[in-house]
């Protein structure tokens, strides 16, 4: 007879898990609504259900690993991420102009998502090794150098959205550790310089159109500005209680492109109204609050900044995605955690949560 290992529930944060799981169910319901409008087999819904099942398994497995495992694996995982990002440039599939996916048996895997896990682990490991001497410029340089290795490879795909998330995580952690203000201002100045250089030498035409459309949405209302315009209409038409699941005109009649990914919050706002939108924001607040609590109670810097890094990944995604859907930020193709369609994103999100849960269990 085989004895299955007993799961250790000590200090297990069920609030953290269920906030993410409920968000995933809301996302699954919304994807089902979008799927109905396609008039074919529920391909998106079935794949997302499989991904959710795998994601939950990954979460529980990751949560049972001791936090020391992630600390010791930080460097190997980082180098694995670099290898995957290099490989996808040569062997990956292109979707909407971005060569960033491996395709296998009808499913796809996006190495840029895995890079977020690698970066959070490595930066937390580097902060732990710094022994709280965060006032040296060498520390800032190392942190950004480690980040830019991954960012550069992701920009070659090109994937501006994922690259911006990694930069936001690095910058956020530097602020949270108490880096000197002159270094922070220097980073901001460097970011402006890099943005200018990127505009002329790195950004693709469609990426420039997205930024110009953000500045002036009326410049091309039927072209690059179409998505944002339809998103704002969808959000406004939902009013307080929404039109009902499966009855949103913008998504059901295909006026809203990428309804299951980039603009899923617009579908939720249209079909579930302000109430649905508020519930989603409340669940995100609970999730981020629990991650901060875990970081506050952590016994060492690695556990604390691992949890904070995970929270920064989610916060960056939430701000960029919802900001774009509301016309407040440029559209960069960033998904909404636990809600947007995508197996890689969903599994990686639950993996990140499992890592934070491991920190909670070590308290």
For the segment 15-27, the average pLDDT, to the nearest whole number, is 96
Q: Which residues are CB-contacts of 331 (< 8 A; sequence separation ≥ 6)?
A: 210, 213, 214, 227, 228, 262, 324
228-273 pLDDT per residue, tens: 888 888 888 888 888 888 777 777 767 787 788 889 999 999 999 9
Residue 353 scores a pLDDT above 90: yes
Helix or strand holding residue 296 (H, E): helix 264-297
Q: Would the pLDDT of 1 be above 60?
A: no
pLDDT of 56 > 90? The answer is yes
Average pLDDT rounded to a whole number, residues 70-82: 97
Mean pLDDT of 342-354: 95
Here the tokens at position 154 are 């992701």
235 burial class (0-12, 13-18, 19+ CB within 10 angstroms)?
A: buried
Which of 133-147, 201-215, 270-284, 320-334 ranks highest by mean pLDDT?
270-284
Q: Please choose, from the candidates 126, 97, 108, 70, the residue with its C-alpha nearest in 3D space to the C-alpha of residue 356.
A: 70
Domain boundaries, the chain: 70-334
pLDDT, the chain, mean: 87
pTM of structure: 0.92
Look at residue 135 and tell me whether its pLDDT is greater than 90: no
d(CA 43, CA 234): 24
Whether the predicted pLDDT of 191 surpasses 90: no
In angstroms, the CA 117 to CA 107 distance is 20
Side-chain half-sphere of 236: how many Cα atoms within 13 Å? Answer: 8
Token couple for 297: 């109670």
- The whole-angstrom separation of Cα 178 and Cα 106 is 46
Number of H helices, E strands in the chain: 13, 3
Q: How many CA atoms lie within 13 A of 350 on its CB side?
A: 25
Tokens standing for residue 158: 């090109």
Contacts of 94 (CB under 8 A, 6+ apart): none
| Contact call for residues 305 and 177 (beta carbons, < 8 A) | yes
CA-CA-CA-CA torsion for 81, 110, 90, 169, nearest 10 degrees? -50
pLDDT band at residue 5 using 50, 70 and 90 as cut-offs: very low
Tell me what the mean pLDDT of segment 347-363 comes to.
91
Query: How many whole angstroms separate alpha carbon 219 and alpha carbon 223?
Result: 9
At CA 98, angle to CA 97 and CA 102, rounded to 5?
130
Residue 217: its pLDDT value, please? 60
């Amino acid at each position: 007879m085989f004895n299955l290992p007993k799961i250790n529930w000590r200090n297990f944060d069920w609030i953290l898990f269920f906030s993410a799981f409920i968000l995933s169910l809301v996302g699954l319901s919304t994807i089902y609504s979008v799927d109905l409008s396609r008039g074919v087999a529920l391909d998106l819904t079935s794949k997302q259900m499989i991904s959710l099942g795998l994601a939950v398994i990954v979460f529980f497995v990751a949560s049972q690993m001791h936090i020391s495992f992630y600390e010791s694996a930080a460097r190997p995982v980082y180098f694995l991420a670099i290898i995957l990002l290099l490989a996808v440039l040569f062997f990956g599939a292109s979707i909407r102009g971005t060569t960033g996916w491996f395709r296998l048996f009808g499913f796809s895997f996006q190495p840029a998502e895995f890079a977020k896990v690698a970066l959070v682990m490595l930066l937390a490991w580097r902060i732990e090794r710094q022994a709280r001497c965060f006032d040296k410029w060498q520390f800032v340089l190392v942190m950004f150098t480690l980040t830019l290795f991954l960012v550069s490879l992701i920009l070659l795909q090109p994937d501006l959205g994922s690259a911006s998330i990694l930069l936001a995580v690095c910058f956020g952690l530097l602020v949270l550790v108490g880096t000197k203000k002159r270094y922070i201002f220097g980073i901001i100045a460097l970011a402006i310089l890099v943005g200018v250089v990127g505009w002329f030498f790195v950004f693709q035409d469609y990426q420039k159109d997205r930024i110009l459309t953000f500045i002036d949405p009326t410049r091309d209302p039927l072209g690059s500005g179409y998505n944002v315009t339809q998103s704002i209409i969808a959000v406004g038409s939902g009013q307080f209680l929404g039109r009902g699941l499966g009855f949103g005109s913008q998504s059901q009649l295909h006026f809203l492109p990428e309804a299951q990914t980039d603009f899923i919050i617009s579908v939720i706002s249209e079909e579930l109204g302000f109430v649905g939108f508020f519930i989603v924001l409340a669940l995100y607040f609970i999730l981020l609050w629990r991650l901060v609590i875990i970081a506050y109670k952590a016994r060492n810097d690695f556990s604390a900044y691992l949890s904070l890094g995970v929270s920064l990944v989610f916060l960056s995604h939430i701000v960029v995605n919802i900001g774009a859907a509301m016309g407040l930020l440029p559209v960069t193709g960033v998904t909404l955690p636990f809600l947007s369609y995508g197996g890689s994103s969903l599994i990686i999100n639950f993996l990140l949560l499992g890592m934070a849960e491991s920190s909670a269990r070590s308290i």
